[in-house]
Amino acid sequence: MARIDCNHIRHAYGPHPKSDKDYALKEVHHAFEDGGAYALLGPSGCGKTTLLNIISGLLYPSHGELLFDGKDVTNLSTQERNIAQVFQFPVIYDTMTVYDNLAFPLRNRGVPEPDVDRKVRETLEMTGLADMAKRKARGLTADQKQKISLGRGLVRSDVNAILFDEPLTVIDPHMKWVLRSQLKQLHRRFGFTMVYVTHDQTEALTFAENVVVMYEGEIVQIGSPAELFERPKHTFVGYFIGSPGMNVMPVAVEGRSARLGSQTIELPGAPRAGITGAIELGIRPEYIRLGASGMPVSIRKVEDIGRHKVVRASFEGRDIAAIIGEDEDIPADPKIAFDPAGINIYADSWRVEMGG
């Protein structure tokens, strides 16, 4: 496996890009550490698959360089990079057995047959496919075919990284959970470098040690699931991660307080002096307390989703969401309070540090 360095990577699909708007990737400067498990998370069109295809060699970047363990591979072919890629729709041979599908990449490289047999049997055990080694691939389920696709990457000893492009999209919900768990176990056991593209926050947050959030061709935050939840660096991260996402509202800030309409909200600290631009307050629904004291709200809807309720309300003319316990009652004259520990302040969509 390898460390992957993306050094000032930019990419445009058109021939003569003139501005940032012409680039699918505006600029990516990031290292994927050897043995790390990463997720590229973002909506359709944010650039995540473009970046994955540049790493694999299916695309060459318009600008920048790509290094594997310090070696420049920017202009090398996919075959020369020794990358294994698992796609949304498995690329396997339906007329071959499971065993022969796994053996194919080794035989294609001239690996001696005793070594082929040893590696294939190891991979069959590793992926839970040993009991169906002699079965033809055409009769298998979608999740079993994805295991074969994964196994074709794991069976090779020369692979620098395993790249996943929306691999669980066509898998049923229960099997998604099973396969994600197996991928995590394989990563912990063998330390493969894995990069996993998805638009599904659940997949990203449960699979990866570090999640790379992309928005409009840029990386807006890299961090652990806890960091992305507690301290979103960009309002998009707050909105995209969480269900419901973070509440974001325009405010005027002075010292350790923020003003929204007729209400004054206590902040956990004073933002740095001289912040300019569009100032917003962000708070997740989990940090809003509903009770008989605080700031008045008008309840519009209550969604009971099992372990808790999502309360949709109007606050100073703006929609807001709060999460309360399943057994909590809503007062006749409801009010809300913001937990200062959950408040973030943003200037032009980027988080502002606050002092004590």
Question: Looking at this protein, which amino acid is placed at residue 277?
Answer: G
Q: Does the structure show a pLDDT above 80 at 274?
A: no
- 322 forms beta bridges with 311
Q: How far is CA 76 from CA 53, 59, 144, 221, in A?
A: 13, 10, 32, 29
pLDDT category at 249 given cuts 50, 70, 90 is very high
User: Locate tokens 């708007």: which residue?
Assistant: 21
**Averaged pLDDT, 217-222:** 96
**Averaged pLDDT, 313-337:** 94
Q: Give me the pLDDT at residue 154, please.
A: 84
Q: Strand, coil or helix: what is 237?
A: helix
Distance (Å, rounded) from C-alpha 295 to C-alpha 107? 70
pLDDT category at 178 given cuts 50, 70, 90 is confident
Q: Give me the pLDDT at residue 218, please.
A: 95
Low-confidence winner among 169-178, 206-215, 219-228 (lowest mean pLDDT): 169-178
Q: Give me the pLDDT at residue 189, please.
A: 81
Distance (Å, rounded) from C-alpha 356 to C-alpha 344? 14
Torsion angle, CA of 202/205/208/209, rounded to 10 degrees? -170
Q: Does the structure show a pLDDT above 80 at 170?
A: no
Most distant CA atoms of the chain, gap in Å: 77
Domains, the chain, with CATH or none? 4-236 (3.40.50.300), 246-352 (2.40.50.140)
**Averaged pLDDT, 324-331:** 90
Percent of the chain beyond pLDDT 90? Answer: 70
Q: Give me the pLDDT at residue 207, please.
A: 87
> 258 and 251 in contact (C-beta within 8 Å)?
yes
- Ramachandran sector of residue 199 (left: φ over 0; alpha: ψ -120 to 50; beta: rest): alpha
Question: What is the H or E stretch that residue 31 is in?
Answer: strand 25-32
pLDDT category at 356 given cuts 50, 70, 90 is low
User: Locate tokens 């408040």: which residue?
Assistant: 343
**Averaged pLDDT, 257-275:** 90
Distance (Å, rounded) from C-alpha 58 to C-alpha 306? 44
Pairing of strands 343-347, 279-283: antiparallel
Q: Strand, coil or helix: what is 117?
A: helix
Listing DSSP states for 70-122 in one string gives TEE-TT--HHHHTEEEE-SS----TTSBHHHHHHHHHHHTT--HHHHHHHHHH
Phi then psi dihedrals of residue 313, to 5 deg: -140, 170
Tens digits of per-residue pLDDT, 76-132? 999 899 998 888 888 889 999 999 999 999 999 899 999 999 999 999 988 889 999
User: Locate tokens 């099973």: which residue?
Assistant: 178
